Each structure stands twice: as C-alpha cells, then as structure tokens.
Structure 1
Amino acid sequence: MSSKQQLRESARKARDSLPAKEADRYSGVILERLLSLLDGESPVMVYVSKPPEVETHRFIRSLLERGTEVVVPIIQARDCSLRLSYLRDLTSLRVSTFSVPEPIGAEIPARAEDIPVVVVPVIAFDRNGHRLGYGAGYYDRFLEKNPHLKRIAVAFSCQEVDDLPADEHDMKMDLIVTEKEVIVV
C-alpha cells in the first residue's frame, strides 16, 4: 500500500469515527466560516456532500437564500472529469456516481471560466495546502485546467496530517477551513 493510500485510510478512519452529532456541529462551524469568506463571490462551485464528509447542504441552501449562484460538479466516470451544472434547488439532487448527489435530469450547464471560487472535499490535508481526495484525481485534473479558481478545501481538523507526499499533478489549496481555524496557504 502506498504512503498516500495509508494516509488516506488513516484520515478516513479519523473522520469516520467522529460521532454524528459532533460532525454535524463541526460542519456548521465550518460552513459559517465559509459563508463569511465567500461574501459577495458568485457563482460558487461546491461539492454536494455525502456522509460522513463535511456537510454542505446547509451551506448550499444558505448561498441560494442569499441570491448567490451555486454550481455543482457532476462526475463523469468514463473520462474521470467533472461536468458543471448550476443548482437552483436541492430537491433536484439524485444519488448518482459514487453515491454523490447530483442534479441528474435537472442540469443547467455552467462554465468553469465564469466561476471565481471552488469548495472541494478532502480525505486528508496538511498545512502546506496539499490535499488527498478519494484517489481518482477528478478535482486535481479540473483545478489544473482552471488555475484561475480560488481553491478552498473543507475538512474536520482530525483529517490533518503532518506532511502529505505531493506529486506534480496534485493541486494545492489556497485555504483550508476546519472547525478550529482557517489555514491560509
């Protein structure tokens, strides 16, 4: 098993061991911090969470209530890429690829060049802005093609590791938001 895989498993276990009420409370703190950081940015691209990730549904709802346009990714497994769609309503989400909620059947195409900021999921992170995702490289490829995006990772503090091995294709984050702090890279 590679060191990345070992770190991914260790961080996943730490995240998954958080009691549900604690994870929910931490998600609320993280999302409040995010809302203050993104005040005025639009559209905002954000992943739609699935348990036990940092929960983003409340965040998306808050953005929509503020009048902020929201863009969500749709996983294209055949070519390991992300397709983008505006999201107008959480009720249009359907469980799809990798059990990720996506607006399948209710897509409103979005263009990456129109988006200033992206909120990405994390399995593990370090203070240098490196992140480990699920391992397929969807976000790294997307971020590499769209270097203009401000990159914000959200994670629970228990997912932090001392030092992640980074390859040349691994894209660094600009900010990492946890329930304890905002790490500026």
Structure 2
Amino acid sequence: MTQALQKSELRQRFRAARLALSADAVESRSAQIAELFWAYIFRPEHRYIHSFLSIASNHEPNTWPIIEQLWQEHPQVRVVAPRVHRPTKTLQHLLIEPDTVLHTGGMSIPEPPNDALPIAIALLDVILVPLYCFDERGYRVGYGGGYYDKFLAQCAPKTLKVGISLLPPVAVIEGIAPYDIPLDYCLTPDKVWRFAQL
C-alpha cells in the first residue's frame, strides 16, 4: 500500500490480514519481535516496563515471551499491564507478577485484578503499544477507543513508546489528529523502525 488511507479502512484491512495469519505464523513472528526487543529496546537501567496482554483469538502479537523473560532474567524490572476503566474511558496501570491471577475483562482482554498495585505513569521506562497498523512516520491505528492516546499523552519524555506489529507499515495514515501521539519505535518481525522525533 502506498496511498494514504483513512484509519477506519486501515483498521478493517489490517484486522483481516492479521486474522488470516496462522497461529504458528503469529507465534514465530512474535518470537522474532521479542528478539529485536532484547537487542534494540531493553536496557539494564530499565525498571518499569508496561506491556499490553495479548488476545490470542485476535491474533495479536504475543507479548508473553518478553514478559516471562523479564520475570526470569531481570527480577529488578517491574512489569506493568493495563486495565480498562470504562467509566472514565482511561487505562489503569497495575503491577503483574508471576503469581498474579489475571481476569478476562471486556472484549476478552486479559487484565490484572482490581487489587493489583497501581504504578505511576511517570515511572514507566518502556511501553509496548498495541496497534492494527502504523505508518513510516510513527503514527498508529489503534483499536478506536482512544485509551492509548490519552495514556501516551501523559507519559514522561523519557518513556519509550514502542509499537509491536506482525505486519509492515503503510507509507502514510490519513486523518492524523492533534491528539495522536507518534511512536518512538515500532518492532516488526524483520525490522526495528525508529522515528525522526527521537
């Protein structure tokens, strides 16, 4: 795709393309992305890493290999996951540990329990951001709820915003709004995309 496309059309196209991938393809591409995370994103000084929790039935990139390796090899790092707070249409950011019992929230999203420890946004070093697609400027098409737009706007300048995509980018996403926050990086199975604002 080379022409600029609207978010709604891209959301539909990339959702279909992702669902067309086999389960094995999702896992192998996710493993390649995890390797790039360790090679290019993770730093020993990181202490708080925020990750979305994948919905397997939607063929989302599997973030669990990254999370589990953090727990096993980097116990000094705290893993933070989002919980949707629907009354305010915002995300809560809660600590998860190997023994945390997750719950299935709305839209089948795995979420930390209500009593998990909240973590201040200012502490986050890295955020792994879900998306349907992204463009070569670092803008993303999310799931349409605006939750991550609000969240990313509150992050400290030091926080790395890292998209994760099983599929390559489009050239330009049409209809970017002032509240759309560009990514710093996006990881695809075969490439690390770094964007000009860094």
Q: Same fold (TM over 0.5)?
A: yes
Deviation at 1:79?
A: 1.1
> Secondary structure of 1:84's match?
strand
Which amino acid counterpart does residue 55 of structure 1 have in structure 2? N
The correspondence for 1:6, drawn from 4, 9, 30, is 9
Deviation at 1:44?
A: 0.4
**Aligned counterpart, 2:63:** 56
Q: Larger deviation: 105-114 or 13-22?
A: 105-114
Q: Is the counterpart of residue 46 in structure 1 residue 51 in structure 2?
A: yes
**Aligned counterpart, 2:181:** 171
**Aligned counterpart, 2:166:** 156
Answer whether contact 1:44 1:116 (CA < 8 A) is retained.
Answer: yes
Deviations 1:99-155 (A, max 9, x none): 111111451111111112111101011111000110011011111122422100000
**Aligned counterpart, 2:32:** 29
**Aligned counterpart, 2:194:** 184
The correspondence for 2:112, drawn from 103, 114, 128, is 103
Q: Once superposed, what is the RMSD of the aligned Cα atoms?
A: 1.5
Answer whether contact 2:133 2:167 (CA < 8 A) is retained.
Answer: no
Aligned length: 183
In 2, distance between residues paired with 1:147 and 1:42? 14
Segments of 4+ moved more than 3 angstroms: none
Deviation at 1:18?
A: 0.8
Q: Is the counterpart of residue 80 in structure 1 residue 89 in structure 2?
A: yes
In 1, distance between residues paired with 2:11 and 2:156? 25
TM-score (norm 1): 0.93
**Pairs within 5 Å for 1:121-132:** 121-132=130-141
TM-score (norm 2): 0.87
Q: Identity across aligned pairs (percent)?
A: 26
Answer whether contact 2:121 2:154 (CA < 8 A) is retained.
Answer: no
